[in-house]
Amino acid sequence: MIGNEAPSPLETKSSPTAREIPMGLIIEVQKIPPAGMRISGTLGPDELDLECEGVTMAGGLAYDLSVEVVSGELIVRGRLRMPLELICSRCLSVFETEISVDRYSFSQAVKELEIIDLTANLREDIIVALPIKPLCAQKCKGICAYCGKDLNLERCSCAPGSGDARWSALEELKLPPENKE
């Protein structure tokens, strides 16, 4: 704090210690003005600790939030954006995209001297926003099931598949003709 600055109700960096411990997004309830406040910034990869298979953070989590206390309840609303590197579920190539949570919302009953860490809740909202089957492009052709070539880059000379080989015995089955009386 410099001069007569009021202490911030938002803490995003840890104080210097023997070992640096990432703190995430911490809100001190007693420092929120009665009219509420707007906060924005970026949480780095070490602060968010997002560990999901096939997901790599390509930058920090940008947040723009309004924070207020109403009738003893902390209400936080806003927008989250985060650049990520994902693995395409069809062709297995790595591609960069941005995940957005346009209607982030958090509420919790609080006491006046309480300190709230929003980091885990922010992480959960980003994970929920991840695509179930990430695609590098809507028209991604994937890889050939026989030779493994990326069909987006080149054609392969494999014969078109005739279906699942496990069902080939049924093709040999001779059924009697249907009676159409």
Residue 86 domain boundaries: 10-158
pLDDT of residue 14: 38
| Tens digits of pLDDT across the chain (181 residues) | 333 334 444 444 433 333 344 567 888 888 889 999 999 999 888 888 777 788 888 889 999 999 999 998 999 999 999 999 999 999 999 999 999 999 999 999 988 788 889 999 998 999 999 999 999 999 999 998 888 889 999 888 887 765 667 777 777 888 888 876 6
pLDDT of residue 93: 93
- Flag whether 5 is in a domain: no
- Flag whether 181 is in a domain: no
- Flag whether 174 is in a domain: no
- Flag whether 62 is in a domain: yes
- Flag whether 171 is in a domain: no
pLDDT of residue 69: 92
Q: pLDDT for 118-155, tens place per residue? A: 999 998 999 999 999 999 999 999 998 888 889 999 88
Nearest to 149 by CA among 74, 89, 92: 92
Whether 132 and 99 have beta carbons less than 8 Å apart is answered as no
Torsion of CA 22, 25, 29, 31, to 10 degrees: 80
- Flag whether 176 is in a domain: no
CA distance 178 to 181: 9
- Flag whether 1 is in a domain: no
How many domains, the chain? 1
- Flag whether 169 is in a domain: no
